[in-house]
Structure 1
Amino acid sequence: MNISKFKIISKLRDSKIFKMLISNIDILLFSILIFIKIMNYAKQISPEYLYIGVTHPVFASILVIVSFSVLFKVNKRIRYLYLLDLIISLILMADLMYYRYFKDVITLAAVKNAKLLGGVSSSVGSLFNVKDLFYLLDIVILIPFIKRYKKRESSRKKKFLPKFAVFIVMFLIGISIDVKSVYAVAKEQPTLLSSMSNRIYLTKMIGNLNFHAIDAYNYISTKFKNSKKISADDEKEIKNFLDQNNAVTTTNLKGEGEGKNLIVIQVEALQQFVINQKINGKEITPNLNKWINKSLYFDNYFYQVAGGNTSDAEFMSNNSLYPAQSGAAYYSYSGNQYDSLAKQLNDKNYYTAALHGNNEGFWNRNVMYKAEKFDDFYGEHSFNIDETVGLGLSDKSFLDQSVEKMKNFKQPYYSFLVTLSSHYPYDDVKNYGDFDVGEYEGTLLGNYLKSIHYTDQQLGVFLDKLDKEGITQNSIIALYGDHFAIPKDNTDQLLKFENVNDTSDLQWYEYQKVPLVIHFPEDSHKGINHTYGGQMDLYPTLANLFNLPKQYMMGKDLFNSDSGKVIFRNGSFTNGKIFYVSWTNTYYDIKSGKQVEETDELKKLRDEYNKELEYSDDILNHNLIKVFENGN
């Protein structure tokens, strides 16, 4: 029996199939390992990702890149596969960390902003998980095996023509499956591949490697296309849209702020769920709650940031243009001409100033504020850095010094202030002061509550000081949050805090609201406005109050619009009644919370809103405001 087994094993070893497997074990091993890594990454970014269909494009993309390896000699082939393994593993790790913060997939344009990570190294470090080293485990383990395999196989020589034939077969099979997968996406959502407005969903449908290949193609082709002029017909189409979007129909509160100062405060990571909320019987934001009670409060206001995060919030609020398709508009389009809030107020003889306690070059603010026509930018070097909390100058010191500066501003003025202390990852707890967060002590949510309670205290002192100095009597003050506080992968803490069991994507979006508070002199017009809106709508709303011309805004005036339109850069949107979640291609009825089937009307609305994103991209890519201003 043992002899027969030995003979069988010997025959198997001598068989062509076995020899072929052994001589190509590096290719097989690489393919299996990369497939496992990609599917593991896929599971982490979207549990519903793992349906049978996605394995096809993942397998196909691996087949395509592996096919080239068969053309090389063994030593070079092994080197090629090993290097590829390392590169793909690092990309997957970067994708995971990026997803944990932005709930998106990293793009080439976003990589351009990598230098910003130096200023938020603690944020990046907190996004790393020890389990991420799983992606590099094989890189280390395989080193001794690779050396032995190289020695064993290096003597084997193969003719080029058979290798080329194998390459062709593998490449064509992989490409065929990939083309089929990509075509299915293009048929379902025609603009998705070019706009990449919904990167998670796209990755889900075609796999991570194919996504990055298309992203690279789009990045290069966009650079090439943008070097060419946009057609006159496309320009006219965009101009017609802007004319219709900016047409004035009603005039509620029109000119209410004329001649008054405008003070806009963008608060770092201020989400709506902390407003009027208590923990252990104590208010989290007592000062904001007090000011909300004597202001106009918009309770259905969403952040709409993308890869530019905080800078996107500034960009939208001051220009009413959507964030860049990839990366940050503050970097990619700082050379453009803008019809910004500062520019329009300058034209009405306002003094305009931006104030922020961080480094002037961070997010390219020193360049972008000039493009937006602010008269002055008071950055880190304009303040006495006498106290640091979080990433830099404390909100307490920043706001105290800002009041003193504003008291000397020529009136009327527009002051745009950006806070800093409540920046993710909220780990400077020793400087946030004593605030009991109970069972959440030591958690990300607990640390956030401490940080935002600290910032609330400083905002309270600041606003009370403005009141005491009489500044509020001749000023309109707008305050809003810039973006999310709790990353997607920590949502369970937030839902527990809110005592909510619903983990649907609609519920997640409900927590992506940020407060918008507008205070008028004498506490007039106070109350709650339930209109659905977002950061795109702040400039048009303020333009109405200050009687500024509306020409190139893509948002709406919240005082004079019955539209609940809010479009997100990833392709999700709401009209105030229906919410479309792009990454699952699902529609929800907001009132009932239940999913609804797509209708022709909803599909038309989705296509229409995607078109708006394309219009905004064209405005940025081709500097169309300058073109329109010049009358070309």
Structure 2
Amino acid sequence: MYKFNDSTNIVHKIIHSFVKNLDILFFVILVTLKVLFYGKQIATNFFSYKYIMSPVIASVLIIVGISLLFKNKRRTRFLYILNIIISIFIIADLAYFRYYKDIISIGAIRNAFLLGGVASSIGSLFKATDILYVIDIILFIPLMRFYKKANRKENKLVTRVVLAAVIIFGAGALNNISISKLAKDQPGLLHTMSNRIYITKVLGSINFHAIDAYQFTKNTINNMKPLPKEKENQIKSVFNDNLKSETNNLKGKAKGKNLIVIQVEALQQFVINAKVEGKEVTPNLNRWLKRSRYFDNYFYQVAAGNTSDAEFLSNNSVYPAASGAAYYLYSGNKFNSLPKTLGDEGYYTAAMHGYKNGFWNRNVMYKAQKFDDFYGETNYKIDDKVGLGLSDKSFLNQSLEKMKSFKKPFYSFVVTLSSHFPYDDVEGYEKDEKFNVGKYEGTFMGNYLKGIHYADTQLGMFLDKLEKEGYMDDSLIVLYGDHNAISKNYIQQLYDFVGEKEPNDMKWYQLQKVPMFIHFPKDEHKGVDHTYSGQIDLYPTLANLYDLPKEYMLGNDLFNSKNTKVTFRNGSYTDGKVFYVSWTGDYYDIKTGKKIPENEKVKLEKEKSLKDLQASDDFLNHNLIKKLNIGK
């Protein structure tokens, strides 16, 4: 074996120095390429290698600087392990992005145990090309064995410390330039972490996860401290602003009537009134929409909590967590929820879902929100499975039987399951009826259409049975979709289905609507309402109809608020005229579909959205419901 020594020959010195630091050279090149390639993959439009190169290399060099504190063999092992960790994070980020159109965070990682039982969903998000991120790790295994045996001269400790300090501080200063520029360009972004895609796109994956860990730790510590009185007053002001109502339209209209809310898994608006091979995808929902007040500009506003976030928004009218799932993070909080306020009015309240009781921490969170009972998987006979578990057909039939025994008036919160991603139980969807999806047969979109057609059939029978049993005469029925169905991974299939030839970020956002309708007894107040709205608006709307207190809400009463606005967890917003897309910083005129320059008005609206999100976070993180005394 060749022995590396202190030859006076300059060529030998160069060769020795090169071989001695091969581990560093390979680490810098390979990890930099991986982070850059990943950044390009998650970029929805603008992406500049020139812009991101500096922070990416700086973040990699900081790791190299830390490795120099170790002796050669341990340094090589350290860099090899860090390469593995970074590669795993990148692959996990890609899978997460393909479904959620977001970047994984510590809060989302904490939620991982809540997602047991959906392995097929997760597995379908990985691609064969993801192996490129780990192929070097596999190939380097035999080379590592040889390299660790090489006789590389060790630097003295003082030399290693000095070199490490120079590289860490130099790379840190370079990195800080990029971070400071981002903080200046997008005030509040790094504090709220509301737009993780944008942060990753301009700073790189390593920097994002480092900042995420820092902010998570800082927020955890800060949340243990009491808020200053001034901060509490600011939060109180945000909530009080939402109490203002210009009219009392339909106030108390539903007082004393039962309330049945149906949250439908992965129901997006683009399937409403759509046809495939001449047949309606959702004939039953289409029929009931005509008999109801239908809100056709209703958006989901979920974050990492997905289905559970939709429940949280609808029952509490505050925003989901910036990182992680509200159902996990805030299960120890006090809530002024819809089931609580109805319970205070003498209602019996029950949540109903045919899946695992502990999934998304429901068994704990439903109690925290003051539901009297939760009927989960253990309360149903699992006699027919479709998708992840109990079929919607059996679940809805059994739920109706349970409702017959409920003390009136009651509030039933019903959550369906069968149309859950990845929509691969085609055999289950077609047990009772074959649905011809034409050219989409065998595709992701085709499977989804079959899944949602199956759900529509079961929902139609359920609603018809409610009418036959007389519930429609003394009940308000609300139905809405919980979140998107088509992840970005299959977005081209969505564009093809809706006939979108020139997609952009605003058009993608406009497709993130979910249907929502409110059915009144005797089909009163039916019609289409074009108000721009979101899931956070459901509770205040129902509070008006049931004449309930409206404190601690950040949503709008859709029957009385004229200037509604939809704010999304990532800081994007729309007021029905302008659409702001936070991850690109672009504003669009909805009417023309064209980009418009930032002006003082839209800038103020953007800042107000961030303030609302921050107020919601502080309100929840510090469990302020007893201290604020909203409305007083």
Question: Normalising to structure 1: TM-score of the pair?
Answer: 0.97
Q: Which of the pair is proportionally richer in helix?
A: 1
Partner of 1:45: 42
Report how far residue 394 of structure 1 moved.
Answer: 0.3
Partner of 1:170: 167
Contact 2:551 2:631 in 1 (8 A): no
Between the aligned partners of 2:338 and 2:210, the Cα distance in structure 1 is 38
Q: 1:351 to 1:629 in 2, by over 3 A?
A: farther
Contact 2:47 2:201 in 1 (8 A): yes
**Which of residues 157, 171, 186 is equivalent to 1:160?**
157
1:325 equivalent to 2:322? Answer yes
1:388-399 equivalences under 5 Å are 388-399=385-396
Contact 2:245 2:561 in 1 (8 A): no
Partner of 1:569: 569
| The 10-residue stretch of structure 1 (267-276 or 197-206) with the greater mean CA deviation from structure 2 | 197-206
Return the letter of the residue paired with 1:390. G
Partner of 2:285: 288
Q: Give secondary structure in 2 for the equivalent of 1:422.
A: coil
Report how far residue 158 of structure 1 moved.
Answer: 1.8
Q: Give secondary structure in 1 for the equivalent of 2:208.
A: helix
| The 10-residue stretch of structure 1 (613-622 or 12-21) with the greater mean CA deviation from structure 2 | 12-21
RMSD: 1.5
**Which of residues 181, 188, 191 is equivalent to 2:188?**
191
Return the letter of the residue paired with 1:620. L
1:215 equivalent to 2:216? Answer no
Report how far residue 502 of structure 1 moved.
Answer: 1.9
Report how far residue 48 of structure 1 moved.
Answer: 2.7
Q: 1:11 to 1:499 in 2, by over 3 A?
A: farther
1:439 equivalent to 2:439? Answer yes
Between the aligned partners of 1:607 and 1:493, the Cα distance in structure 2 is 35
Partner of 1:4: none
1:51-70 equivalences under 5 Å are 51-70=49-68
Partner of 1:589: 589
Between the aligned partners of 1:70 and 1:335, the Cα distance in structure 2 is 45
Partner of 2:76: 78
Partner of 1:105: 103
Return the letter of the residue paired with 2:348. Y
Partner of 1:462: 462
Report how far residue 11 of structure 1 moved.
Answer: 11
Report how far residue 629 of structure 1 moved.
Answer: 5.4
Superposed CA deviations along residues 378-399 of structure 1, whole A, max 9, x for unmatched, are 1011111100101111000000
Contact 1:336 1:626 in 2 (8 A): no
Contact 1:12 1:18 in 2 (8 A): no
Report how far residue 19 of structure 1 moved.
Answer: 2.8
Partner of 2:3: none
1:609 equivalent to 2:609? Answer yes
| The 10-residue stretch of structure 1 (86-95 or 131-140) with the greater mean CA deviation from structure 2 | 131-140
Return the letter of the residue paired with 1:108. I
Partner of 1:523: 523
Q: 1:631 to 1:495 in 2, by over 3 A?
A: closer
1:248-263 equivalences under 5 Å are 248-263=245-260
Contact 2:69 2:157 in 1 (8 A): yes
Between the aligned partners of 2:243 and 2:388, the Cα distance in structure 1 is 39
Q: Give secondary structure in 1 for the equivalent of 2:412.
A: strand
Report how far residue 17 of structure 1 moved.
Answer: 3.5
Return the letter of the residue paired with 2:611. K
Between the aligned partners of 2:401 and 2:502, the Cα distance in structure 1 is 47
Return the letter of the residue paired with 2:609. Y
Provide structure 2 residue ranges, at least 5 long, that are not aligned to the other structure: 1-6
Question: Normalising to structure 2: TM-score of the pair?
Answer: 0.97
1:529-540 equivalences under 5 Å are 529-540=529-540
Partner of 1:244: 241
Q: Give secondary structure in 2 for the equivalent of 1:417.
A: strand
Report how far residue 12 of structure 1 moved.
Answer: 9.0
| The 10-residue stretch of structure 1 (304-313 or 205-214) with the greater mean CA deviation from structure 2 | 205-214
1:179 equivalent to 2:176? Answer yes
Report how far residue 247 of structure 1 moved.
Answer: 2.3
Return the letter of the residue paired with 2:150. R
Between the aligned partners of 1:371 and 1:631, the Cα distance in structure 2 is 23
Contact 1:74 1:153 in 2 (8 A): no
Contact 2:316 2:539 in 1 (8 A): yes
Partner of 2:262: 265
1:423 equivalent to 2:423? Answer no
Contact 1:42 1:50 in 2 (8 A): no
Between the aligned partners of 2:583 and 2:257, the Cα distance in structure 1 is 43
Runs of 4+ in 1 over 4 A off after TM superposition: 10-13, 629-632
1:313 equivalent to 2:313? Answer no
Between the aligned partners of 1:396 and 1:455, the Cα distance in structure 2 is 8
Between the aligned partners of 2:246 and 2:236, the Cα distance in structure 1 is 18
Partner of 2:548: 548
Report how far residue 117 of structure 1 moved.
Answer: 3.1
Q: Give secondary structure in 1 for the equivalent of 2:58.
A: helix
Q: Give secondary structure in 2 for the equivalent of 1:403.
A: helix
| The 10-residue stretch of structure 1 (497-506 or 330-339) with the greater mean CA deviation from structure 2 | 497-506
Partner of 2:376: 379
Partner of 1:92: 90
Return the letter of the residue paired with 2:143. F
Between the aligned partners of 1:12 and 1:133, the Cα distance in structure 2 is 42
Partner of 2:119: 121
Superposed CA deviations along residues 391-428 of structure 1, whole A, max 9, x for unmatched, are 11100000001111111111111100000000000000
Paired-residue identity, %: 57
Provide structure 1 residue ranges, at least 5 long, that are not aligned to the other structure: 1-9
Report how far residue 153 of structure 1 moved.
Answer: 3.3
Partner of 2:146: 148
Return the letter of the residue paired with 2:462. F
Report how far residue 227 of structure 1 moved.
Answer: 0.8
Partner of 1:483: 483
Contact 2:307 2:482 in 1 (8 A): yes
Between the aligned partners of 1:631 and 1:557, the Cα distance in structure 2 is 16
Contact 2:240 2:630 in 1 (8 A): no
Contact 1:537 1:556 in 2 (8 A): yes
Q: Give secondary structure in 2 for the equivalent of 1:324.
A: coil
Between the aligned partners of 1:452 and 1:185, the Cα distance in structure 2 is 42
Contact 1:242 1:554 in 2 (8 A): yes
Between the aligned partners of 1:162 and 1:115, the Cα distance in structure 2 is 45
Contact 2:114 2:361 in 1 (8 A): no
Q: 1:540 to 1:630 in 2, by over 3 A?
A: closer
Return the letter of the residue paired with 1:550. K
Between the aligned partners of 1:12 and 1:619, the Cα distance in structure 2 is 69
Q: Give secondary structure in 2 for the equivalent of 1:266.
A: strand
Return the letter of the residue paired with 2:408. Q
1:580 equivalent to 2:585? Answer no
The count of residues paired between Structure 1 and Structure 2 equals: 622
Between the aligned partners of 1:514 and 1:630, the Cα distance in structure 2 is 31
Q: Give secondary structure in 2 for the equivalent of 1:314.
A: helix
Between the aligned partners of 2:630 and 2:315, the Cα distance in structure 1 is 21
Report how far residue 15 of structure 1 moved.
Answer: 5.0
Q: Give secondary structure in 1 for the equivalent of 2:116.
A: helix
Q: 1:568 to 1:159 in 2, by over 3 A?
A: same
Q: Give secondary structure in 1 for the equivalent of 2:350.
A: strand
